[in-house]
Amino acid sequence: MNGANPVPGGMQGTVGSDETSVFPGSLDLEYLNVERGEGVWLQTTDGRRILDACSGGTLAACLGHGIPQVVEAADAQARRIAYYYNHQFTSEPQERLADRLLSLAPEMARVRFVSGGSEANETALQLARLYHVERGDEDRWRVFSTVRGHTGSTMGALALSGDRSVREPYEPYLATHLHVPPAAWRADATGAEALAAIDRGLEAAGPETIAAFFCEAVSASAPAAWGPTDGFWHGLEERRRTHGFLVCVDDVATGVGRVGSWLSTHQLPIEPDIVTLGSGLGAGHAPLGAVLCRQHVYDALDRGSREFDLGHTWDGAPLPSAVGLAVLDVIEERDLLTRVHDRGPDLRDQLASAMEPLAIVREVRGRGFLLGVALAGHRDLPFPRSTAEDIARLVDDIALEHELLVRTVHAGNDPEAGVEMVLAPAFTSTDDELAEMLERAATVLERVQHSVDASPRGTP
Ligand SMILES: Cc1ncc(COP(=O)(O)O)c(C=O)c1O
């Protein structure tokens, strides 16, 4: 360990894999030890003050850190009762949170609470399968899902991802779904190619085997802040009607206001059958996710076995539910949805201007408070796979040197995806904090640019 100031418990500065009992995500990284957070600022034990431009790194802390109203709601609920399992019981916070979510998404009919995004997607998969089984369509199990994107780390959710670099060691456990675009947004501006790939998949697998189409409406990773065109969604709607599969949208990263609407699906021309939420619902103050479904999905079980009993220990527990309610209160009382919706386009334009001089920047995208900066190598070519990982790490490292937390994504096996820097500030960020974020982000990428330029092969 290094760092200047000793802290209680003896831990300080940064922590490497050979200095900890924790099994870290990367055995090569030195982890910064954060001791507190306030708003968009993270304070490390060695006195660094990091501007959190990514809502805790996963987009979860969408209101910033240490929101008094949420902390007080959690405290009050924990004093009454924090936990019991919802097998025989329910609670007022769970009931009220479900009602609140349905009032914000009236197209939906029921809510199942879980602890996070992977559990939400896993549960949505199970629900889609049950929907068909209950209706006597037992052959339907396969899912169309998109080639890219992070869908979760549990085996069911991981099987939705088509990213071979993530799937590889776990392949024996992963169901063989059909991985299709939308992926090649540059080559397929209208979505026609993606629809053609779905048609080919339907023909090859047989439409009677397809349970669902699963995708984000607005992608949170490469390509960040991008979504398929209306033409694609209309085409999908036609195929849903003809072939009887469900449309499930993973709104884990983009729901609860991130892209300027309560659900990202409210910006689509069609209504999905199932939507999953995670990250922002607990706003980084409690682990919380949800699966919302429309009436006909619920009806299939209502008229069938009347059981959907697989669950997880923390599903709908009083403490996270009370946190979820407080999060929605804060968003409504402070009119943060309007803030994200109205400020988002300017923020994207300001980011694009800040990035203008940098040859390494290939494209800037933005939807609400979700911003993506796509990076390219020489002659606007995506970085090769071997380089993408290095570039992503370089961006992370230089950002932290400038006391800025960003998220980098790289889709290793997809040359079009390249490397992206994702910015997703808290909805509560002031204009000064947003300006500071843009300034630091530009400085970081300038340094990345110098490093790439200095290398004869365009690698860091
Ligand atoms: C779009 C999307 N889906 C699913 C997940 C998985 O969520 P969790 O990490 O809460 O299990 C994530 C996490 O970042 C995500 O961004």
Domain annotation covers residue 248: yes
Kindly report, residue by residue over 177-234, the tens digit of the pLDDT: 999 876 555 668 788 989 999 999 999 999 999 999 999 999 998 789 999 999 999 9
Rounded Cα distance between 232 and 225, Å, is 17
Distances (CA, A) of 430 to 284, 336, 427, 433: 19, 12, 9, 5
Give yes or no: residues 214 and 111 share one domain.
yes
Instruction: Give the residue from 333, 365, 396 where a domain finishes.
Output: 333
Domain annotation covers residue 5: no
Are 414 and 399 in contact by the 8 Å Cβ rule? The answer is no
Test site for ligand 1: of 279, 367, 420, most ligand atoms within 8 A of the Cβ: 279
Rounded Cα distance between 436 and 429, Å, is 10
Kindly report, residue by residue over 359-374, the tens digit of the pLDDT: 999 899 999 999 999 9
Domain annotation covers residue 142: yes
Distance of CA 233 from the midpoint of ligand 1 (Å): 23
Give yes or no: residues 305 and 391 share one domain.
no
DSSP H/E element including 178: strand 178-180
Give yes or no: residues 224 and 290 share one domain.
yes
In 3D space, the residue among 121, 122, 368 whose CA is nearest the CA of residue 254 turns out to be: 368
Give yes or no: residues 102 and 238 share one domain.
yes
Least confident of 157-161, 222-226, 414-418: 414-418
Give yes or no: residues 133 and 243 share one domain.
yes
Rounded Cα distance between 238 and 195, Å, is 10
Residue located nearest, by CA, to atom 4 of ligand 1: 151
Domain annotation covers residue 182: yes
Q: Domain limits at 407?
A: 33-66+336-454
Instruction: Give the residue from 304, 333, 362 where a domain finishes.
Output: 333
**Using a CB cutoff of 8 Å and minimum separation of 24, what contacts does 390-396 make?**
390/459, 390/460, 391/419, 391/448, 391/452, 391/459, 391/460, 392/419, 394/448, 394/451, 394/460, 395/419, 395/421, 395/444, 395/445, 395/448
DSSP 4: S
Give yes or no: residues 122 and 234 share one domain.
yes
What is the model's pLDDT at position 262?
Answer: 98
Rounded Cα distance between 22 and 75, Å, is 28
At 8, is the pLDDT very low, low, confident or very high (cuts 50, 70, 90)? Answer: very low
Give yes or no: residues 196 and 282 share one domain.
yes
Give yes or no: residues 120 and 250 share one domain.
yes
Query: For the chain, what is the domain count?
Result: 2
> What's 393's domain CATH number?
3.90.1150.10
Q: What is the pTM assigned to this prediction?
A: 0.95
DSSP 265: G
Test site for ligand 1: of 115, 150, 219, most ligand atoms within 8 A of the Cβ: 150
Give yes or no: residues 202 and 326 share one domain.
yes
Domain annotation covers residue 195: yes
What is the model's pLDDT at position 428?
Answer: 98
Kindly report, residue by residue over 64-113, the tens digit of the pLDDT: 999 999 999 999 999 999 999 999 999 999 999 999 999 999 999 999 99
Instruction: Give the residue from 333, 367, 393 where a domain finishes.
Output: 333
- Residues lining ligand 1, judged by CB closer than 6 Å? 58, 116-118, 121, 150-152, 216, 220, 250, 252-253, 278
Give yes or no: residues 340 and 249 share one domain.
no
Distances (CA, A) of 401 to 26, 37, 48, 300, 336: 19, 18, 10, 54, 31
Rounded Cα distance between 197 and 215, Å, is 14
- Calculate ∠ Cα 151-389-409, nearest 5°: 35
Rounded Cα distance between 249 and 255, Å, is 10
Give yes or no: residues 49 and 179 share one domain.
no
> What's 271's domain CATH number?
3.40.640.10
Domain annotation covers residue 328: yes
Domain annotation covers residue 27: no
Give yes or no: residues 256 and 366 share one domain.
no
